[in-house]
């Protein structure tokens, strides 16, 4: 057997990705304590001001499960960005200086889905990450067939057309 050097053993044991899961670049990465995913702190949503102490779970590992099996993706919209991350003042900062600007999050897509075995009354919104993790094939097919830059507009007709229909109904 070949001797294993201290440095080599550490290198062998690290099963984390050597690039950021968001931007695909290398550099100083925050590693998940559950899975091999790695992220730049500025690529997270919302970004983190510094590497957190203690155990850290990535967005994929902390993503809530779906409430059932999705039958169909109906539409999508841009969701609200997550609340900003407050940046603590550094001990070296001037005490009279204004506090550092909070780190803003980015809006992410949300998808309106029809659940299998449930009526359309039970449709609900799920996150893009939930779809990516739990319905990968259906999600990829939806992405291929739909514009993922601009959400679909509701095709409900204009108000004039609605009022004419309502007028005829009476």
Compute the radius of gyration of the chain from its Cα atoms. Answer: 23
User: Could you give the CA distance from residue 14 to residue 88 in angstroms, rounded to a whole number?
Assistant: 31
What is the pLDDT at residue 15? 84
CB 34 within 8 A of CB 59: no
User: Could you give the CA distance from residue 47 to residue 102 in angstroms, rounded to a whole number?
Assistant: 10
Does the bond joining 46 to the residue before it have cis omega, within 30 degrees of 0?
yes
What pTM was computed for the model?
A: 0.76
pLDDT in tens, 76-115: 999 999 999 888 887 787 888 888 889 999 999 999 999 9
What is the pLDDT at residue 166? 53
CB 6 within 8 A of CB 33: no
What is the pLDDT at residue 96? 85
Give me 58's structure tokens.
């990535």
CB 24 within 8 A of CB 34: no
What is the pLDDT at residue 151? 94
Among 138, 129, 127, 121, residue whose Cα is nearest residue 69: 138
Low-confidence ranges of the chain (pLDDT < 70): 1-14, 155-170
**Where do we find the tokens 């539409």?**
75
């Amino acid at each position: 057997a070949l001797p294993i050097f201290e440095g080599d053993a550490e290198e062998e044991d690290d099963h984390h990705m050597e690039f950021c899961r968001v931007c695909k670049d290398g550099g100083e990465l925050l590693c998940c304590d559950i899975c091999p995913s790695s992220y730049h702190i500025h690529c997270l949503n919302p970004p983190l001001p510094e590497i957190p102490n203690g155990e850290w779970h990535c967005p994929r590992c902390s993503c809530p499960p779906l409430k059932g099996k999705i039958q169909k993706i109906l539409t999508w919209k841009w969701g609200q960005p997550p609340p900003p991350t407050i940046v603590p003042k550094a001990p070296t900062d001037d005490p009279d200086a204004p506090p550092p600007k909070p780190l803003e999050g980015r809006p992410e897509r949300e998808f309106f889905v029809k659940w299998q075995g449930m009526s359309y009354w039970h449709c609900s919104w799920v996150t893009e990450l939930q779809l990516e993790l739990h319905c990968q094939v259906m999600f990829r097919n939806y992405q291929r067939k739909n514009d993922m830059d601009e959400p679909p507009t509701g095709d409900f007709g204009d108000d004039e057309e609605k009022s004419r229909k309502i007028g005829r109904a009476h």
